[in-house]
Structure 1
Amino acid sequence: MSRINSAELIKQLSTLGTEEMFLNDFLHTWDKSSQELEAVFKTAQILASLRKDNISPRVFDSGLGISLFRDNSTRTRFSFSSACNLLGLEVQDLDEGKSQIAHGETVRETANMVSFMADVIGIRDDMYIGKGHTYMKEVSASVEAGYREGVLEQRPTIVNLQCDIDHPTQSMADAMHLIETFGGIENLKGKKVAMTWAYSPSYGKPLSVPQGIIGLMTRFGMDVSLAHPEGYEVMPEVEDIAKVNAENSGGTFTKTNSMAEAFKDADIVYPKSWAPFAAMEKRTNLFGEGDLDGIKALEKELLADNAKHTDWECTEELMATTKEGKALYMHCLPADITGVSCDQGEVAASVFDRYRVPLYKEASYKPYIIAAMIFLSKFRNPADTLQDVLERNARRIIGE
């Protein structure tokens, strides 16, 4: 993008209603209006354009971004750090093993203690059904109370870096990839996206990626097909959200137990393994009861169930049945690649290799999406602030 495009995007951003995003969290995409989602995309594009033009968008000269990961992460962890750094915030990891949480410190107390000079708290808590989103809401309520009571000078924004229900930074980055690929958000209408389960030799993968995709892509008038073997259902309440979204946008939301049916004439395919909703609920209960033997038995059962569906693989043959045989392959990464990372997995090596560069581009949008979520929560008039950044023209590198 050129600087002219940045200026035009800023004008477009100024027409969008972002008032409710100010001093607010980003937890689920379906909690945001269409204009608010578009504002995230516009802001992310502006920030990417500024960086490309070597203009520093550092709007903070101090402040912390608190990073709390309760599950392993590479892309999202570094994307959050990159986003904070882009805006001028320093990242501090909250290592719960080194905190007073182990000594009985409450969520309310921890949230306030880490937030004295924090502008954002990024949380990933996706391991247990009914736990992650609940925890994020408790942290949100705690910092809101601290701010209102005058304990905190500013109200930190909570950004959902993946919970048990949604993965908004991933699905929004995926959507931005589609917007860039197809030349605009308006061009997504009528495109068929196949969100399909795929075989993995591991178990317990979160449901938040497929749920995030069906909960977001149905907002754009797309024809969203959710495919999985019987027994691998996602949360019914998220399916209901997808149905309502499709109705409102003029798209469709359909379900099938056939990967081939979902792939047929698809413009985009997203083959990704996940654990059955019912099994994840059972797993959460077993952990809550401290039943380690029950957990081991469930793991064995789920791996055996997965092994019945090794044919659910994104192959060259399936890709040939997509729209003109040229569907865009997507994945949140890391993918289970047959013959590379495992003996048999989600995707054939030849398919993955052909789409490696687009996959990396897909991942590259996440830092800008996260930065946009932070930015829109911190500035009452984001377009004016970005216009100031553009006119200031502070160079990232001296003597370029």
Structure 2
Amino acid sequence: MSDIQKYLDQLEGLDFSGLYGNDFLHTWDKSTDELRALYAVAGALRNLRERNISSKIFDSGLAVSLFRDNSTRTRFSFSKATNLLGLELQDLDEKKSQIAHGETVRETATMISFMADVIGIRDDMYIGKGDAYMEEVSESVQQAYEDGVLDHRPTLISLQSDSDHPTQSSADLLYLIEEFGGLENLRGKNVAVTWAYSPSYGKPLSCPQSLISLLPRFGMNVTLAHPEGYDLMRERVDYAKAQAAENGCTFKQVNTMAEAFEGADIVIPKSWAPYAAMEKRTNLYAEGNDAGIAALEQELLAQNATHKDWVSTTDLMAKTANGQDTIFMHPLPADISGVSCEHGEVEADVFDMHRVGMYKEASYKPYAIAAMIFLQKVADPAKALKVLEDAATPRWNQF
């Protein structure tokens, strides 16, 4: 596109004032207008970069990241997003901090917030712990700001918690908006969100929960599939049902991949751990019961192994609405049979057929995160975007 007017038009008439100066912890905490604004701003920022126009709104400042679980895509997406807006990034390594010596959450949150504009946190390993930690950080920086310790309040972004992965699901939706030519064109599309076999254990529930919570809000028909016993959090399933009823679409649950793939326009197969097992692991962790955790891991690996037939194959893809051309999505990395593992979530030929699409899906995450920051820090996003475009400062001086 030659300009960003399309995205500025999308912002017209939306009430997204609640995003300014606020945190972004869950998509379900945000109004539909606020989410629409997020997608419009993300599109505008991508448009500016692709036309070699700088989108820096900061001349200086710091972004702080804290990853309590391993990450490639989200870690680098946060780095790219903050750089895109003009911030420098500092990663907090808890092993090199005073946290190991008993420093409190309140003190850590305050100390890292001097001259910081945004804090990104991934804490997804234990049920109830990630969300609680982020809320404590948020409350701590708010108190420090009110006490006059901080000159302004840094905003917090969840880079994945135990319940939600808002940056991933937002990137997924941006990808679908592009693939189908607009948010309005997603209404009525059939999506299979399904469990798949993995030879590892303890994968978070937040990815599927994020999807089933978000997609029905825009009229997408969602089918959730998993073997018996691999339940998600009850409140997230109930929310998905309520959103489907409110937005004139459907949400249903089935117990085979074949049922979920039948007639689907989009399939998203991804392994996750049973909610009950993750709760048990959280309790064992709180007790310091390492032997119990090790025993649970072996139990769950054996349970997973009874469902090796839950794998994406060309035969399953043939059941979808468009056969091998149906959109296949995954947050990556995927467990690829015969490549990254002996048996996994997806056969190599299916993965290779859809690899480019999944890489494109991942490419939207930096823009999703940048848009979250932009809307939290800019009172008039449409004006700011127009100023950036009119200035036309080259991001890269190509001589």
Would you call these one fold, judging by a TM-score over 0.5? Answer: yes
Per-residue deviation, 1:7:
2.3
- The 10-residue stretch of structure 1 (383-392 or 370-379) with the greater mean CA deviation from structure 2: 383-392
**SS of match in other structure, 2:344:** coil
Which residue matches 1:2?
2
How does 1:382-393 map onto structure 2 within 5 Å?
Answer: 382-393=381-392
Letter in 2 for 1:33: S
1:91-114 alpha-carbon deviations (Å, 9 max, x no partner): 001111111111111111110110
SS in 1 for 2:222: strand
Moved over 4 A (4+): none
The residue that corresponds to 2:200 in the other structure is 202
- 1:245-265, CA deviations, whole angstroms, 9 ceiling, x for partnerless residues? 111111111111111100000
1:324 Cα deviation (Å)?
2.9
Q: Secondary structure at the match of 2:319?
A: coil
Residue 89 (structure 1) aligns with: 87
Number of positions where the alignment pairs a residue of Structure 1 with one of Structure 2: 398
Amino acid at match of 1:93: D
Secondary structure at the aligned position of 1:269 is classed as strand
- For residue 363 of structure 1, report the CA deviation from its aligned partner: 0.1
Could you tell me which amino acid in structure 2 is paired with residue 382 of structure 1? P
Paired residue for 1:59? 57
Cα displacement (A) at 1:18: 1.6
Query: How many Å separate the matches in 1 of 2:312 and 2:380?
Result: 45
Counterpart of 1:349 in structure 2 is: 348
- Does 1:158 pair with 2:160? no
Question: Pick from 102, 105, 110: which aligns with 1:104?
Answer: 102
Please list, as runs of the form range in 1=range in 2, the aligned pairs for 1:202-351 lying within 5 A after superposition: 202-325=200-323, 326-351=325-350
2:360 is matched with which residue? 361
Instruction: State the partner residue of 2:13.
Output: 15
Partner AA of 1:56 in structure 2: S
Question: Displacement of 1:14 after TM fit?
Answer: 4.0
Unaligned runs of 5+ in 1: none
Instruction: Specify the alignment match of 2:77 in structure 1.
Output: 79
C-alpha separation between the residues in 2 aligned to 1:399 and 1:169? 32
Query: For residues 36 and 84 of structure 1, what CA distance do their matches in structure 2 show?
Result: 20
Per the normalisation by structure 2, the TM-score is 0.99
Q: Distance in 1 between matches of 2:162 and 2:397?
A: 44
C-alpha distance in 1 between matches for 2:386 and 2:13: 14
Structure 1 length as normaliser, TM-score?
Answer: 0.98
Q: Which amino acid aligns with 2:337?
A: T
2-structure distance, mates of 1:11, 1:270: 31
Partner residue of 2:119 out of 118, 121, 139: 121
Q: Secondary structure at the match of 1:355?
A: helix
Query: Percent identity at matched positions?
Result: 64
SS in 2 for 1:218: helix
1:228-251 per-position Cα deviation (integer Å, ceiling 9, x unaligned):
000000000001111111111111
C-alpha offsets along residues 112-163 of structure 1, whole Å, 9 cap, x if unaligned? 1100111100000000001000000000111111112211111111100000
Amino acid at match of 2:206: S
Structure 2: unaligned runs, 5 residues or longer: none
Deviates more, 1:68-77 or 1:383-392: 383-392
For residue 2 of structure 1, report the CA deviation from its aligned partner. Answer: 2.3
Aligned amino acid, residue 74 of structure 2: T
| Alpha-carbon separation, structure 2, partners of 1:89 and 1:258 | 46
- Deviation track 1:360-394 (CA, whole Å, cap 9, x = no partner) reads 00000000000000000001111111111111110
Q: Distance in 2 between matches of 1:152 and 1:20?
A: 22
**Deviations for 1:30-72, whole angstroms, at most 9, x for unmatched residues?**
1101110011100000000000000000110000110100000
Cα offsets for 1:70-97 (capped at 9, x unmatched): 0000000000000000000000011111
The alpha carbon displacement at 1:332 in A equals 0.2
